[in-house]
Structure 1
Amino acid sequence: MAVTPLAALHRKLFDETSGVKFAVLKDRLIKKFGETDRVAVLDILMAYARDGQLLHWRSSLVNEIVKLMEPQELPDFFNWAVTMPDLAYWGIDGLLKSRGKDAYDSVVALAMSSDLRLDVRAKAVKSLAMLSRQPFDAGLSPDPGHWKADSLPLGDVLAWQRAGYPDGAGHAPPATHASLEAPETVLEKAAARLAKKLAAKRKKKHDPARPSNWLVIASPADLAAIDARWTLPSHYRDFLARFSPLRVYIDSQRYFQGLHLYGASELLKAQHGYSYNPVDQEAIANWPAHYVVIADAGADPYCLDLSAIAGGDAPVYTAEHGRGAWEFARHADSFADFLKEVAQA
């Protein structure tokens, strides 16, 4: 009897001893059969998570299972996974996805267990915060692996448990300008298009405790600090005031290294390493004094030329870093054109 392609891939996955080749096989399995044979793929992944020979991959596969499963599926597997030290981190998300609020007692117990690794306990708190909309993760890194033991809000978690696990109000979204919903000017239309693009990104991945990929109203303090440093083109200054990028990162074919578009809260610090040396606390001699870095793609800067302001705007120049000397080339005739490009990327 002929072996089916899925069965052949199953066998290869379990026989593979190279982590690099295993990753290729795993991706092929999910991409080729994840939709058409989802249950069979889940069975293969769960079997490997239990008994596979590449131990470091078993934990990663638990995360793949969480992404592929439907809510209320696989409770027995995740009840087991959270008891395994190497699988518990991602197993927590699976337990909550499979059992919902019925898993709260179990996950709180994981958070309280001093026998577990700190990152697992922190993950338990973070995942509880995400599902319950309680602010347990307020002010903490979006990656619970970076949390410190003394930052775990265990008292708040226990108080929430005693109160019967009420849902919280969640984190308030950042304040945005009304013109994003009803744009009229060229700048507003470009910003609105970018905001729509960022909203689509947030649907795929978003941490309410540390919002990213938003265009927000800048704080007066940030704008005052910027105004004390430069006289910016009015169009860009208006953009920062009303549509300041908040942790905006564009990953696209045009910006294959990823584009970080700076907001008002980070613009001053973003000059470090380009025009300013923060260690020596002095200007860097070979940097054009009239260039302000407004974005970077893999550390390649995009700069407004303040010496060429006209009609409230200025051209954008870029250069490759690491070449010994900056060789700038004109990238866009204006910030408005650059913003349109970013919105379309």
Structure 2
Amino acid sequence: MAVAPLAALHRKLFDETDGSKFARLKERLLKKHVPDDRLAVLDILMAYARDGQLLHWRSFLMTDIVALVEPGEHGTFFSWSLEMASLAYWGVDGMLKSMGKAAYGPLLALATAEHTTLSVRAKAVKSLAVFSRQPFDAGLPYDPGHWKAEQLQLDAVLAWQRDGYPDGAGHALPATHAALDDPRTPLEKAAAMLDKKLAARRRKEQDLAQPSNWLTIASAADMAGIAQRWALPEHYRRFLACHSPLRVCIDSPQYFQGLSLYGAAELIKAQHGYAWNPVSGDAIAGWPEQYLVIADAGADPYCLDLGAIADGDAPVYTAEHGTGTWCFERHADSFIDFLNEIATAA
């Protein structure tokens, strides 16, 4: 009697000892059988996560399992996974997806268990924050694997538990200027075009605990600190004040290493290693003192020439880093031209 295709694939997965071949078999399983046999595929993946012979794949399969499971399904499996060091990290999300608020207690116990790996404890706090819309992750890295022990905010999490696990309001959106929705000047139109491209990225992936790819209203303190150091061209000053980049990174063929566009909060620090030594505070020899670094692409600086301000704007120069000497070339005739270029590339 012929073996059913799904059963045969099940057997091959458990027999395979080559990781690359296993990956191809797993992809075939997902593409061919999930549409009609999702529950059967889940059973196979969970069985492998429990007993499969390729240990690293037992962990990798957890993301597929979490993606396939629906609310109310397989809570027992995810409860078990929290006890397994190699599975617990993604088991956290599976618990929440499967059990909803009923998972709060076990996940809080996991977050406060000092014997548990820090990354797993941090993942529990992060996922609880996202699910409950509480601000336990405010200002912390998107990846909880990068959190430090003192960043777990366990006091706030335990207080939330004592209050009966109330839902939070979530993180507020960064403050943006009205001109992004009703641009009138050339500067505003360039900023609005860039923001439209950034908004498309935000819709695909955004963590408001650490928002990225926003053009925001700068703080008065940041703008005052900048004004004490430089006399900026008016167009760039207004851009920083009204449309200050917040973790804006442009990925495009033109900027194959990605271009980071600085905001008001980071502009002073961004000069470190270019204009002055961050340790001694001394000016670095060979750096043109009239050049202000406003962006970089793989550490190659893009600079406003503050010595050539005309009509409220200034040209942008760039150079390759690591060549021994700075050899600047004119990149754009004005900041507005540079901004339009970035907006087109975004």
Q: TM-score, normalised by structure 1?
A: 0.86
2:186 is the alignment partner of 1:190: no
Provide, for residues 152-171 of structure 1, a one-character-per-residue CA deviation record: whole Å limited to 9, x for no partner: 33232233223222111122
SS of the equivalent of 1:190 reads helix
Q: Please give the alpha-carbon distance, in whole angstroms, between the structure 1 residues aligned to 2:309 and 2:37.
A: 57
Provide, for residues 169-218 of structure 1, a one-character-per-residue CA deviation record: whole Å limited to 9, x for no partner: 12222211111111111211221122222222222322222222111111
Counterpart for residue 287 of structure 2:
287
Q: Please give the alpha-carbon distance, in whole angstroms, between the structure 1 residues aligned to 2:14 and 2:210.
A: 37
Change (3 A) 1:327 1:127: same
Letter in 2 for 1:117: T
Check conservation: 2:290, 2:307, Cα contact below 8 A. yes
Q: How does 1:230-309 map to 2 (within 5 A)?
A: 230-309=230-309
Note the C-alpha offset of 1:34. 9.4
Change (3 A) 1:22 1:313: farther
Letter in 1 for 2:221: A
Note the C-alpha offset of 1:220. 1.2
Counterpart for residue 94 of structure 2:
94
How many pairs were matched up?
A: 343
Q: Please give the alpha-carbon distance, in whole angstroms, between the structure 1 residues aligned to 2:144 and 2:247.
A: 19
Check conservation: 1:129, 1:136, Cα contact below 8 A. yes
Check conservation: 1:13, 1:26, Cα contact below 8 A. no
SS of the equivalent of 2:249 reads strand
SS of the equivalent of 1:282 reads coil
Counterpart for residue 16 of structure 2:
15
Note the C-alpha offset of 1:143. 3.2
Q: Please give the alpha-carbon distance, in whole angstroms, between the structure 2 residues aligned to 1:199 and 1:31.
A: 31
Counterpart for residue 169 of structure 1:
169
Check conservation: 1:6, 1:33, Cα contact below 8 A. no
2:213 is the alignment partner of 1:219: no
Change (3 A) 1:276 1:124: same
SS of the equivalent of 1:308 reads coil
Q: Please give the alpha-carbon distance, in whole angstroms, between the structure 2 residues aligned to 1:82 and 1:136.
A: 21
Task: Return the index of the structure with the highest Cα Rg.
Answer: 2
Note the C-alpha offset of 1:46. 4.0
SS of the equivalent of 1:267 reads coil
Q: Please give the alpha-carbon distance, in whole angstroms, between the structure 1 residues aligned to 2:165 and 2:152.
A: 18
Counterpart for residue 202 of structure 2:
202
Change (3 A) 1:29 1:294: farther
Check conservation: 2:30, 2:41, Cα contact below 8 A. no
SS of the equivalent of 2:307 reads helix
Counterpart for residue 120 of structure 1:
120
Note the C-alpha offset of 1:99. 2.2
Q: Please give the alpha-carbon distance, in whole angstroms, between the structure 2 residues aligned to 1:134 and 1:275.
A: 41
Counterpart for residue 78 of structure 2:
78
Q: Please give the alpha-carbon distance, in whole angstroms, between the structure 2 residues aligned to 1:168 and 1:212.
A: 21
Check conservation: 2:34, 2:41, Cα contact below 8 A. no
Q: Please give the alpha-carbon distance, in whole angstroms, between the structure 1 residues aligned to 2:260 and 2:178.
A: 24
Change (3 A) 1:254 1:60: farther
2:162 is the alignment partner of 1:178: no
Per mean C-alpha deviation after superposition, the further-off stretch among 264-273 and 74-83 is 74-83
Q: Please give the alpha-carbon distance, in whole angstroms, between the structure 2 residues aligned to 1:231 and 1:183.
A: 25
Note the C-alpha offset of 1:279. 2.2
Counting aligned pairs with the same residue, the percent is 64
Provide, for residues 252-310 of structure 1, a one-character-per-residue CA deviation record: whole Å limited to 9, x for no partner: 33322111110000011101111111123211111122211111111111111222222
Q: Please give the alpha-carbon distance, in whole angstroms, between the structure 2 residues aligned to 1:213 and 1:284.
A: 31
Change (3 A) 1:127 1:179: same
Q: Please give the alpha-carbon distance, in whole angstroms, between the structure 2 residues aligned to 1:249 and 1:125.
A: 27
Provide, for residues 47-102 of structure 1, a one-character-per-residue CA deviation record: whole Å limited to 9, x for no partner: 54334444344333323443455555554442332221111111101221222222
- Gap regions ≥5 residues in structure 2: none
Change (3 A) 1:67 1:242: farther
Change (3 A) 1:279 1:156: closer
Counterpart for residue 160 of structure 2:
160
Per mean C-alpha deviation after superposition, the further-off stretch among 260-269 and 71-80 is 71-80
Q: Please give the alpha-carbon distance, in whole angstroms, between the structure 2 residues aligned to 1:2 and 1:212.
A: 51
Note the C-alpha offset of 1:35. 8.0
Q: Please give the alpha-carbon distance, in whole angstroms, between the structure 2 residues aligned to 1:269 and 1:259.
A: 17
Check conservation: 1:276, 1:282, Cα contact below 8 A. yes
